[in-house]
Amino acid sequence: MTSTSSYHRTPNGTNIHFTLTGNPTGTLIVLLHGLGGSTETFTPLLPHLHPKTYRIVCVDLEGLGKTPLSSLDVTLSITRYVDDLESLVASLQGTEEPLLLFGHSLGGIIATHYAARHSGATRGLALLGTGRSIANIPPARERMLALAAKTRAEGIQAAADTAAISNFPMTGEIPQELRESVREAVAKSDVEGYAKACEAVAALDHVDPDYALIRAPTLLLSGSGDVISPPERSFGLKELIGDNAWVTVLEGVGHQFILQDLSRCLDALQALFERVEGH
């Protein structure tokens, strides 16, 4: 599939890079990657997201992919990410027109905040190994802040080596090419952008949204071997969001759903499309 590459400058001063493909007049699907990811994270999905029906937008979050930090002293935050997403969506179609949001990990956090802020305009959510606030979980905060410090001290390759391990189950045989794929993706990240994104996740002002405001059909996709966002996190979020949410667990999969099991990932997403169209 061919896609166009564009930039949008937000009121925050962020020059967001994004790609567009699919039906130019279709309902938006916005895809948000995780820490160390980029628009390329979703490339294998694009042909399967009903491009004749939907207008598909992949976004590079500030400091990651091809979206540079707006300044070296900028403080990234979940609120800033959501504000920038809101500005991008408004430039493409208006924030109160319907859209679908797909988010992986950090992207899932941003997607839930946006959906709670614009519940009436969110038609569907796919949250892949999503996270939530760790402001009140000191060990988790310390690990994320330590990753930021390690990245600054040792370089992006140290973060890439860590991700190549942590993104997969601790048991079972993982093909080396999958680990290399994650390592190469993270290694393309900017050191300071990566570190600041870690700090945004761990920030004390990162507070969960009111999940009960999310009324759209919501797929919580989890991997049985995901050590970054274990299945119990998805089940906990399901209870907070309510009856419109459901959890699908992929056995033997870690934090990289698309890489490890594209087929079952697509099956889960198709179930979301069916609910959205019948909602």
- Ordered by where they begin, the domains of the chain are 4-134+208-278 (3.40.50.1820)
Please state the three-class secondary structure of 30-57 as a single string.
Answer: EEECCCCCCHHHHCCCHHHCCCCCEEEE
State the Rg of the chain over Cα.
Answer: 17
Residue 205: per-residue pLDDT: 96
Is the pLDDT at 17 greater than 90? The verdict is yes
Is the pLDDT at 129 greater than 90? The verdict is yes
Residue 95: per-residue pLDDT: 86
Q: What percent of the chain has pLDDT over 70?
A: 100
Tokens of 72: 């070296």
Is the pLDDT at 133 greater than 80? The verdict is yes
Average pLDDT over every residue of 19-30: 96
**DSSP classification of residue 228:** S
Tokens of 178: 């999958």
Tens-digit pLDDT profile for residues 142-172: 999 999 999 999 999 999 999 999 999 999 9
Closest C-alpha to 161, from 203, 189, 196: 189
Confidence of residue 279 (pLDDT cuts 50, 70, 90): low
CA atoms within 13 A on the CB side of 59: 32
Residue 276: per-residue pLDDT: 96
Tens-digit pLDDT profile for residues 29-47: 999 999 999 999 999 999 9
CA angle 238–240–243, rounded 5-degree value: 55
Tens-digit pLDDT profile for residues 220-261: 999 999 999 999 999 999 999 999 999 999 999 999 999 999
Tokens of 257: 């759903």
Rounded to whole angstroms, how far apart are CA atoms 111 and 200?
Answer: 15
Tens-digit pLDDT profile for residues 94-104: 889 999 999 99
The model's pTM is 0.97
Tokens of 273: 């499309």
Confidence of residue 80 (pLDDT cuts 50, 70, 90): very high
Write the CA distances from 235 to 26, 223, 230, integer angstroms. Answer: 32, 12, 9
